[in-house]
Amino acid sequence: MAKKALIIEDDANIRELMRLYLEKDGFEVYGAADGGNGLREFKRVEPDIVLLDIMLPVMDGWQVCHEIRRESTTPIIMLTAKGETTDKISGLEMGADDYIVKPLEMKEVIARVHAVMRRYAPETVSSKRLVFDGLIIDMEAYDLTVAGKKVDTPPKEIELLYFLASNPNRVFTRSQLLDEVWGFDYFGDTRTIDVHVKRLREKLENVSDEWDLATVWGVGYKFELRKNS
């Protein structure tokens, strides 16, 4: 399932920009324009991460952070136009996990989001078994089960599928996939990826309409999770 991000930010343009980048990165995104609604959305949505502006109407970011920390350890990244060290210290002491000063650089925001979530979810990183509709990828046994039947799969094929499925809806270039699955010291042709994807698709064809090993033309590949209509 896609991770859920809650953006509590009164600037609609910033909120929309973050939403677009987070959705592109595979997140299910929710938003609120003030602290009161943000806290209500937090309780309703139960997000996996919160991006929280400090200067908010109704209830400021400090108070929202305090209220969230009374009941949850959900990671919080504070957003503010202020760069003073005292503000940063205050936020971290109140329970925030990171602090980003505006104007925001979206690549940095996405990188910080992933870094914070890795610290909070080591079990996800170390998980060796992924289960989807009609598909089980078991890296402990290097088994691939498709539509209830184990399918003979070479190690690199299953490693490639596992890596993509561990990062659903995130697009990777062929070079990135070579680095992640084959290693930085591998000097093979990027067409190796195309060959392995083709073989995987032959094994996974027409198994489920809930996911797909998709090509993003001109970029690379992704394991696409489709929202139910």
Of the pLDDT bands very low, low, confident and very high (cuts 50, 70, 90), residue 229 is very low
- Interaxial angle between packed helices 61-69 and 35-45, expressed in degrees from 0 to 180 and rounded to the nearest 10: 30
What global pTM score does this model have?
Answer: 0.54
Quick one: which of 10, 11, 5, 13 has its CA closest to 36?
10
- Average pLDDT for 28-57: 96
pLDDT in tens, 96-117: 888 888 888 898 899 889 888 8
Examine the pLDDT at 166 and tell me if it is beyond 80. yes
Specify the CATH class of 4-123 in words: alpha beta
> Quick check: 168 pLDDT over 50?
yes
**Average pLDDT value for residue range 43-56:** 94
Banded model confidence at residue 169, pLDDT cuts 50, 70, 90: very high
User: Domain 127-225 falls in which CATH fold?
Assistant: Arc Repressor Mutant, subunit A (1.10.10)
Q: Which of 64, 50, 56 is nearest to 33 (CA)?
A: 56
Which of 30-44, 97-111, 138-152, 213-227 shows the highest mean pLDDT? Answer: 30-44
Q: How far apart are CA 34 and CA 15, in angstroms?
A: 11
Domain ranges of the chain: 4-123, 127-225
Question: What was the pLDDT predicted at 90?
Answer: 64
- pLDDT of res. 13: 95
Read off the pLDDT of each residue in 11-25 and give the average, rounded to a whole number.
94
* pLDDT beyond 70 at 1: no
Q: What is the pLDDT of residue 125?
A: 42
* Interatomic CA distance for residues 27 and 19, integer angstroms: 9
pLDDT value of position 127: 57
Poorest-confidence range of 29-43, 98-112, 135-149, 184-198?
A: 184-198
12-41 mean pLDDT: 95
HEC profile of the chain: CCCEEEEECCCHHHHHHHHHHHHHCCCEEEEECCHHHHHHHHHHHCCCEEEEECCCCCCCHHHHHHHHHCCCCCCEEEEECCCCHHHHHHHHHHCCCEEEECCCCHHHHHHHHHHHHHHHCHHHHHCCEEEECCEEEECCCCEEEECCEEECCCHHHHHHHHHHHHCCCCCEEHHHHHHHHHCCCCCCCCHHHHHHHHHHHHHHCCCCCCEEEEEECCCEEEEEECCCC
Residue 80 pLDDT class (50, 70, 90 cuts): confident
